[in-house]
Chains A and B, each alone.
Chain A
Amino acid sequence: MSSSAENPTLTTEITKPSTEIATETAQSAKKINLKTSDDQIFEVEESVAMEFATVKSFFEDAPSSTDTVPLPNVPAKPFSQVIEFCKEQIKFKANPDETEKKKSNSEFVKEKTNEDLVEMIPVANYLEIKDLLDVLNQAVADRIQNRSVEYVRSFFGIDNDFTSEEEALLREEHAWAFEDVDED
């Protein structure tokens, strides 16, 4: 809470120039309004919005329909990060460079918390952004790879519903696979 209330005056004082900049760019390319589940409206460049297969087909089905597309399954917070990713991706579309793309993707996920990643996955899935979904799924898989069962449980907030006997039995069965787990 406190962190969000950072220096209101300071921020607003310099909003004026920034707004102008934003308006300028807004005029240069066609924008699409996307409304998230928590009623935030994101104005997104058309090229970015077309990265979302769901949005794209929405426009293909009804080309001249509303100017605001509702995204009922998409909360704002992960969505803003998804947009960030897609903007980055578009650069690589014009100028494909696999190594740079990989690097950019790994930078993208590196900065995200576990929660961020997990929250973005359903959004990417709903919007059918395959690249992002791949990146996110791989990132989550990487984060739970070679970790203890306990770590994975706490990562996903899952309660163990095996009885201790069941778990012991299963561990015995798979014993050979459980050497050298990374430290939690």
Chain B
Amino acid sequence: MFSERLTGEASLHRELEALSVSQRLVRSVSQKLRKKNLRGEGEEEDDSRGVSLKCLTLYGMGGGCKVGAETSEEFGDPSGRRRSCSASEEGKGYKPVCGNEETGLHMFLPDDILELCLVRLPLTSLMNARLVCKKWRYLTTTPRFLQMRREGTYLKPWLFLFGSVKDGYCSGDIYALDVSQDQWHRLDSDILKGRFMFSVASIQDDIYVVGGCSSLTHFGRVDRSSFRTHKGVWVFSPVTKSWRKTASMRNARSMPVLGISEVHSDCTVVHSHQHRQERRFPRSRVGGISDVYEDPHRLSLRRQYRKAFDEYEPSLLPNRKSHRFIRQKNDHSNTKHCKRFVLIAVGGLGSWDEPLDSGEIYDPASNKWTEIQRLPMDFGVVCSGVIFSWCEGEGQIGQRNKAVRKLWELDLMYLTWTEVSVHPDAPMDWNAAFVADKNLIFGVEMFKIFGQVLDFLTVCDVSNTGTNWSHLARNHMTHELDASSCMTKSLAVLHL
């Protein structure tokens, strides 16, 4: 608007200067003039105003009838008209006239339009809006509204840091970083009290907390000598801060590798174990991944979030229909009203701390876990990083594996790995957690130094050609945590 005013004035200046009108007058009239240009000269047709037009055009000195008519309205008309003319010129200066609208303003916005506004609020402000009045609370909690919010570009990433240990106890506290606002929030949760070594994965608005251990003899402590490994799976919904329990896994697991796959809503995962095939892994990955870390065993149990299945599915299971749908994500998300996801848990440690080579799939629709084929014998060293896929150009699927320090890219066409990016920081945390989210990879490293546990959050955008890591969150949230949090921590990303 400002620029238009400028250009408008500039041209007026020129023309009016030619007529030797003083600059001061030009300024005072230019806005009127602009209005006039917008408004047009149609007033003559308006019968209802005929009288005032005629008498006031006298001001116009002959040729000026039209603008004269325009200005005259402001004097000759009832207040409603005057407001509409003048307030638009000088928006802020008209409180008295506008004041009476202030109270009825919400009546002015129909619900469907109000929704369009509220849907753009970031989560915290939205929760605020739910306290405004009952109608707003209703409007902002309908499934339709929530779906609109999901489908728009209004969701912002939130990082959820699990597994904090404080004063020797697994406090269950969850630290949430609102990335766009750079703000930490702490959520307490009784359910996670005493649990450690669980894995987390996010599906839409929910975080699945899978498996884990709790101490048998020292409740709440991180106890590796006598503990129980859980089959249980909890679902945490940060938006409502609520928990619900879902079906338990078939096997107890601690730190299983979790993956999320999007599926057709009519797809079933039941037959996914039927196809057994020789797996042809791109074995080169093994050497590439663990070049910093000595302990391949532990690496093998590290998390692999989001589409864990993608890694082996395309290369080794070409005719496995039940998972092929991942490819057609974009085609189908439009036709299906709600997306469906399945959760895949692979490996981890069993009840006796033995490494597991089994895997299972959870389908939220049937609330059931189904076993899938075991990992091949040489699977021991995979899954150190984060795998995710995205579409490129003509539907070619790329995949990238985030090695702990180096970012490797797996080209599915040729099944080769290339190094994409190197994390700039010196590795301080052997147990760094990474999670992939669309084109972003988030990482957290925690370590104890000078008596404080520090957390460093970094993010890498792999959609750019120059993939660089940058730091998130200026404040450390974990000062008061115990050093063992570094080991038990896990990370999930939600778009809220």
A33–B131 Cα gap in the complex (Å)? 44
Are A83 and B38 within 8 A (Cβ)? Answer: yes
Are B117 and A137 within 8 A (Cβ)? Answer: yes
Cβ of A41 to closest chain B Cβ, rounded Å: 3
> In A1-59, which residues have CB < 8 Å from any B CB?
1, 3-23, 25-26, 31, 33, 35, 38-44
User: Cβ of B467 < 8 Å from any Cβ of A?
Assistant: no
Q: Which residues of B contact A (CB under 8 A)?
A: 1-4, 12, 15-16, 19, 21, 25-26, 28-29, 32-33, 35-43, 45-46, 48-49, 59-68, 71, 74-75, 79-88, 90-94, 96-98, 101-106, 108-110, 113, 116-118, 120-125, 127-137, 176, 181, 183, 185-187, 240-241
Q: A15-B68, A44-B40 are in contact. Are A156 and B106 (CB under 8 A)?
A: yes
Q: A5-B74, A18-B36, A31-B40 are in contact. Are A118 and B105 (CB under 8 A)?
A: yes
Residues of A within 8 A of B64 (CB): 12, 15-16, 18-19
> In A44-82, which residues have CB < 8 Å from any B CB?
44, 68, 75-78, 80-81
Residues of B within 8 A of A138 (CB): 120
Cβ of A117 to closest chain B Cβ, rounded Å: 10
Are B128 and A115 within 8 A (Cβ)? Answer: no
> In A148-170, which residues have CB < 8 Å from any B CB?
148-149, 152-153, 155-162, 167, 170
Query: Which size class do A's interface residues fall under?
Result: 35 or more
**A to B CB contacts below 8 Å, 18 in the list:** A3-B90, A3-B93, A3-B94, A17-B19, A18-B36, A22-B36, A26-B41, A38-B81, A38-B84, A68-B45, A84-B1, A112-B91, A140-B117, A141-B117, A141-B120, A145-B122, A161-B135, A181-B128
Q: A19-B64, A144-B129 are in contact. Are A88 and B4 (CB under 8 A)?
A: yes
Are B46 and A39 within 8 A (Cβ)? Answer: yes
Cβ of B97 to closest chain A Cβ, rounded Å: 7
Are B38 and A44 within 8 A (Cβ)? Answer: yes
Q: A84-B4, A115-B102 are in contact. Are A15 and B67 (CB under 8 A)?
A: yes
Are B16 and A17 within 8 A (Cβ)? Answer: yes
Cβ of B108 to closest chain A Cβ, rounded Å: 6
Are B88 and A77 within 8 A (Cβ)? Answer: yes
A145–B133 Cα gap in the complex (Å)? 16
Question: Which of A1, A116, A149 is in CB contact (< 8 Å) with B82?
Answer: A1
Residues of A within 8 A of B109 (CB): 118, 121-122, 156
Are A170 and B41 within 8 A (Cβ)? Answer: no
Q: A42-B42, A161-B134 are in contact. Are A115 and B98 (CB under 8 A)?
A: yes
> In A122-147, which residues have CB < 8 Å from any B CB?
122, 125, 133, 137-138, 140-141, 144-147
Are A22 and B66 within 8 A (Cβ)? Answer: yes
A21–B32 Cα gap in the complex (Å)? 13
User: Cβ of A184 < 8 Å from any Cβ of B?
Assistant: no
Task: Apart from A26-B40, A167-B131, list 15 A-B contacts with CB within 8 A.
Answer: A3-B90, A10-B28, A15-B59, A18-B32, A19-B60, A19-B67, A26-B41, A35-B42, A41-B45, A41-B46, A68-B45, A76-B81, A111-B2, A140-B117, A156-B106
Are B127 and A177 within 8 A (Cβ)? Answer: yes
Are A137 and B120 within 8 A (Cβ)? Answer: yes
Residues of B within 8 A of A149 (CB): 128, 131-132
A167–B104 Cα gap in the complex (Å)? 23
Instruction: Report which residue of B1, B125, B186 has the largest number of chain A beta carbons within 10 angstroms of its beta carbon.
Output: B1
Residues of B within 8 A of A35 (CB): 42
A158–B121 Cα gap in the complex (Å)? 18
Are A170 and B241 within 8 A (Cβ)? Answer: no
Q: A111-B2, A119-B108, A157-B102 are in contact. Are A13 and B185 (CB under 8 A)?
A: no
> A140: nearest residue on chain B (CB-CB)?
B117
Cβ of A88 to closest chain B Cβ, rounded Å: 5
Cβ of A82 to closest chain B Cβ, rounded Å: 10
Cβ of B481 to closest chain A Cβ, rounded Å: 18
Cβ of B109 to closest chain A Cβ, rounded Å: 6
A21–B63 Cα gap in the complex (Å)? 11
Question: Which of A87, A118, A152 is in CB contact (< 8 Å) with B129?
Answer: A152
Question: Which of B28, B101, B131, B176 is in CB contact (< 8 Å) with A170?
Answer: B131
Are B91 and A113 within 8 A (Cβ)? Answer: yes
Are B75 and A8 within 8 A (Cβ)? Answer: yes
Cβ of A104 to closest chain B Cβ, rounded Å: 6
Residues of A within 8 A of B90 (CB): 3
Question: Which of B62, B85, B122 is in CB contact (< 8 Å) with A16?
Answer: B62
Are A156 and B105 within 8 A (Cβ)? Answer: yes
A166–B185 Cα gap in the complex (Å)? 23
Are B125 and A144 within 8 A (Cβ)? Answer: yes
Residues of B within 8 A of A171 (CB): 131
Are A125 and B40 within 8 A (Cβ)? Answer: no
A28–B103 Cα gap in the complex (Å)? 44
Cβ of B153 to closest chain A Cβ, rounded Å: 11
> B106: nearest residue on chain A (CB-CB)?
A156
> In A99-116, which residues have CB < 8 Å from any B CB?
104, 107-108, 111-113, 115-116
